[in-house]
Amino acid sequence: MAFNDLDRKRIENAMVAFMAKRRPPPHIRPELDIGYRLTDQSVEIFEIRPQWDNPAITRERPFAKATYVRTQNLWKVFWKRSDLKWHGYEPAATVKSIDEFLAVVDADQYCCFFG
C-alpha cells in the first residue's frame, strides 16, 4: 500500500531539507548531483551524473533506500553494494522515522553512502 497524502508530504518535506543540506554547490550540479524518489513504500536516494563517454546521457545510481514496514511501524535501511544488490545497512538496519533514516545516511558511519 502506498503512502497516504499526509505521510507523503511529511517525507517530501524531510527529503527537501536533506537535499538542501547534502546537494553539491550549483556550479557542480551539471557534473554531480543527488536526487530522491518515492516508490510504493520506499524512499530511494540516488546520484545523478552524465555518462562518462557521452555527456548528453544522464545516469542515476541509487545508493541508499529505506522501505517502510507498516505492520512493524519501522523503516528498513539498505545500501547498494558493488554487486548492484540492496543489502541491509548493519549499523542501523531499522529506524523509527524518515528523519532517523536521513540522519543515518548523513552520518554515513561505514562510508557506504557517500564514500
Structural domain containing residue 45:
5-107
Asked if 76 and 94 touch (Cβ cutoff 8 Å), the reply is yes
With contact defined as beta carbons under 8 Å apart, do 21 and 34 qualify? no
User: What's residue 1's pLDDT?
Assistant: 61
pLDDT confidence band for 10 (50 / 70 / 90):
very high
pLDDT per residue as tens digits for the range 12-30: 999 999 999 999 999 999 9
19 part of a folded domain: yes
Contact assessment for residue 85 and residue 93, using Cβ atoms and an 8 Å cutoff: no
Q: Which amino acid is at 78?
A: F
User: Is residue 60 assigned to a domain?
Assistant: yes
| Per-residue pLDDT reduced to its tens digit, 75-87 | 999 999 999 999 9
Q: Give the model confidence (pLDDT) of 56-75 as tens digits.
A: 999 999 999 999 999 999 99
pLDDT digits (tens, 9 = 90+) for 100-112: 999 999 999 999 9
Query: Residue 7's pLDDT is what?
Result: 94
pLDDT at 115: 82
What's the domain count of the chain? 1
Reading phi first (left if > 0) and then psi (alpha if -120 to 50, else beta), residue 73 is in: left
| Residue 71 is assigned to a structural domain of this protein | yes
The reply to whether 83 falls in a domain is yes
For residue 55, the tally of other CB atoms under 10 A from its CB is 11
The answer to whether residue 67 sits within a structural domain is yes
